[in-house]
Structure 1
Amino acid sequence: MVLAIIFLLVAIVCIFGTLRSIKNRNFLAVFFAGATTLLFGWFSIMTIISEISSMVS
């Protein structure tokens, strides 16, 4: 569960990085920060769902 929390924190920080990159019109940074946000967000959500489903069953 700690891993999911760390992934979620990284995703939140990447959201701020993506917004800052959009503001500065740095499109390469927008791509990488956006991809990182999606990747770590997906991993954190799926890890949380997996942990919850393993507790239930």
Structure 2
Amino acid sequence: MVLGLILLAVAIICLIAIFREFKRQNMFGAAFSAISALVFGFFSIATLYWELIRPLITGE
């Protein structure tokens, strides 16, 4: 569960970086931040689902 929260924090920081790089007109940095936010966001949601929601549904 801790891993999912850390990945979620990194994804939120990447979202902040997207707006900062758009403000600086750095499109390469904005694109890299967007890809990082998507990857880290996916893995954080998948990890939290696997650790928290799936055991509630399956009764494990």
TM-score by length of structure 2 reads 0.87
Q: Share of identical aligned residues, percent?
A: 37
Q: Provide structure 2 residue ranges, at least 5 long, that are not aligned to the other structure.
A: none
Letter of the aligned partner of 1:44 in structure 2? S
Report how many residues are paired.
Answer: 57
Q: In terms of Rg, which structure is larger?
A: 2
Q: Provide structure 1 residue ranges, at least 5 long, that are not aligned to the other structure.
A: none
Separation in structure 1 between the aligned mates of residue 17 and residue 7 of structure 2, nearest angstrom: 15
**Structure 1 stretches of at least 4 aligned residues deviating more than 3 Å after TM superposition:** none
TM-score by length of structure 1 reads 0.91
CA RMSD of aligned residues (A): 1.1
